[in-house]
Structure 1
C-alpha cells in the first residue's frame, strides 16, 4: 500500500468550518478541544472561539485585538473584517469600539456601557462600515446602565430592534422611557428594570405613545423576595392598559447577566423567550385567583 493510499481521509475545509460553527454553540471546552486537535483545525476553530467575545478590562481588550491581528507589531493598527463575531460584550469605554463594530460585519448582539455606545453615535457611517452590513441583519443592544435619555439621528440607531437596559440610575417614569424609545426608530422590544414607577404621568395617551409602538415590553425583576411584589404591582398596573407587557425574574449579578447574554448569542433561550413563558404562567395564576 502506498503512502498516499494509507493517509487518513481529509475533511473539506467547508465541512470543518460547519463542525466548528456547531461546536461554538455547545461550550468553550469543545471549541478549545477542536483548536488543539491539529494545526489545520486550530486555524478554523480559533475563528469560532471569537463568536461572542467578553471583554471586562482594557488589558483583555488589548489582548483580544492583538489575537485578531488588529495590532500588528511595529505598524499602525489594522482592523480586518471578521465574519465570525456574532456578539460583543465590552465593559470598557474607548474609541476602539468603533473599529470593532466596523470589523464585525455579522454582529447581532452588542453589550456596552452607555458612554461606549456614545462613541458609535458620534462615529461616521464610513468608520462603522454600515453599508457592508446586510440590511436585514438586526442589532440587539444591551446597555449596562442608562443615566440619561439617548438622542440623535445616527444611522446606528436604526439598526437596533431590541434594547435591554440592565439598570437605571434614577427612578423612571413613562415619559422618560418614551424618550428612550423614540431614539430607536425600528425598536420592537424593550427590556427595562422593574423599578417602582412614578404613575403621576400614567395617563392612557402617554402609555399609548410610549408602549404601544413596541411589540414586547419586558419588566426585569431581580430574583429577590423583596423585589418581586413591587415588580408584580408595576406589571399588573401597566398590563391593564397594554397586554404586551411582560415580567421576568433575572439575577442582578453582572456575571449572571453576562452568562445569560452569552447563552442567547450562542442560540440559547433569550430574555424575550423567558419573559413570554414566565408571563404566561403568571397571568394564568392571576386569572385563576379571580383577577382577570
Structure 2
C-alpha cells in the first residue's frame, strides 16, 4: 500500500517536491544530531561547578573513576569530602591532592558500604553538616568476583551488591540532597553501567545489572523531581574503563581507544555535568558503541553477552585447575 502510494507520488510534480522535502528533512535531522553530538562530546565547555557550591562529596574516591573525579574537581577549585572504606588510601589520596592543590580543603570520611550503611551515612551526615556541598558523585560500586549463574551466587555476594550499589547510593543521596534543596542548587552524578542501559541483558552478572538498573531509574526520576529546585541529577553510563574493577571481571588491561583510562573518562564526564541530560554516555567511543548496539536485535546482543560470560566461566575453571 505504502510503496504503491510512493510510486504514484513520484510521477506527480507536487509528489516529487513532497518526497524531496521529506528526504531533506530526514537528512537535516540526522546532520543536526551529528553536529549536536560532536559539539557535546568535543567542543562544549565544562560548566563552572563552583556555581553549585564550594564543596564536592565523592564516594569510592580512592581508586579509579572516583579518584580521577577527586583530582579533576580539585583542579576546578572545589573543596573535597572523600568517602571510602580504606583509611590508609584516604589519607594518601588526600595528601596527594593537597600537595598538588594547596589551596583546596580536603576532608576524609571512612565508610564501609558493605557494613552498616544506615549508621555509617548517619555519621557522615553529621561530619559534613554545615558544608556547602554543591556536587555529589555517587561512584562507589561493586560487582561479582566472577561470572556466575543466578542460582550459584552466594547470598553474601548479592546482599553486598545491594548494600553497596543500591542502599549506599540511596542513603548518601538522601543525606546530601536536603541541603541542596535548601540552597536551591546542586548537582548529583550517579555512575551507572552499560550493563543496565546499553545492552538488553547482562547474563551471568544479573544482580549487578539489576542494581545498576535501579541507579539508572532512580537518577532519571530524581532528575524530574528536583529540576525545579535547581538541582541537576544525572546518571552517567560508562562502558569499560581501565580500572581495577573492570580488570577483575573483564580482563581489561591497558587503556585503549575503546577502553579509556579513568582520567580520560572523567575529562569527558566533567563536561556533561549540569547540562540537561538525565542519562548520558560522556566518553565518545562509548557513545558510538551505544549507537551501533541500538541498531542490533536484542537476541543477537543477548547471545553475544552470554557467550562472553560463558567464556569467562571457562577461563576461571581453567585457572582454578
TM-score by length of 2: 0.30
Q: Which has the higher contact order (CA 8 A, sep 6+)?
A: 2
Name the structure with the higher helix share.
2
TM-score by length of 1: 0.32
